[in-house]
Structure 1
Amino acid sequence: MQFNFDSSEPLYLQVAKQIENAIFVGSFEAGEQVPSTTEISRDFQINPATVLKGMNILVSDGLIQKKRGRGMFVLEDAQEKIRVKRKDEFFQDYILKMVIEAKSLGLNQDTVISLVERGFKQK
């Protein structure tokens, strides 16, 4: 994990995003324990309350579960929940904006689809 202490993004959100991404890419698998609040706060010199606030976001999102006296563990469907969330964000952040821009340029749906297909071929 790496944190940007100069970023305008709050540290607790950085904690949540870093752990979420680690779950998504499989660094923390279903049923696996994630590093404790104490470990993260000690290793990165972050206030434990800040780390806990980030982890509580993941608990609220249904990605990790607190097991009293044992720690935080990745839930079985966490990776799929993240995938669904990211697809929704992709649609909101990119697709809708692209459609708005395409309409402002006078492009129809078929033209946009052909441009997307061209993009897939190039990359």
Structure 2
Amino acid sequence: MNQGVNVFDDRSPIYRQIAERIKSDILSGALAEDSQVMSTNQYAAAYRINPATAAKGLRELLDEEILYKRRGIGMFVSPNAQQKLRAQHRDSFFTDVVDPMIDEAQTIGIPLSDVIDHIQRKDG
């Protein structure tokens, strides 16, 4: 984990990147329900960032109920966090990817049935 500060990019705040990385680990199964996540100080040391920055990312996940806190022990992945995140990604997938694809197909005159046929051929 000694990856240093270069693991972050300039596209979004570091605290948000920490939160997104944890969400990604939950979605992939690398972090399971009730598994403990690194502490604020561990994140700060591992990534050479300000502890307040790490705390802000973790607090965001607490607020979203993706993580929960056990007083005096640390933070853990909430039960059903993976399902909750999948539902969020599913919703944004349709809004951000599928709906614009349908709009573009209609704009250039591709019937929706052709789009569906193409997707079904790709599926299998």
State whether TM-score is above 0.5: yes
* 1:94 maps to 2:97: yes
CA distance in 2, matches of 1:26, 1:115: 31
How far off is 1:44 after superposition? 0.8
Cα deviations by residue, 1:38-94 (Å, 9 ceiling, x for unpaired):
001011101111111111111121110012211101111101001101101111111
Matches within 5 A, 1:23-34: 23-34=26-37
Question: What percentage of aligned pairs have identical amino acids?
Answer: 37
Runs of 4+ in 1 over 6 A off after TM superposition: none
Q: Which range is displaced more, 80-89 or 102-111?
A: 102-111
**TM-score using structure 2 length:** 0.89
Partner of residue 69 from structure 1, selected from 67, 72, 76: 72
Matches within 5 A, 1:1-123: 4-121=7-124
What is the CA RMSD across the aligned residues, in angstroms? 1.6
**TM-score using structure 1 length:** 0.90
Q: Could you say what secondary structure the match of 2:69 adopts?
A: strand
How far off is 1:5 after superposition? 3.9
Q: Could you say what secondary structure the match of 1:72 adopts?
A: strand
Specify whether residues 46 and 63 from structure 1 end up closer, same or farther in structure 2 by C-alpha distance, changes over 3 A only: same
Structure 1: which amino acid aligns with 2:34? G
Structure 2 unaligned regions, length at least 5 = none
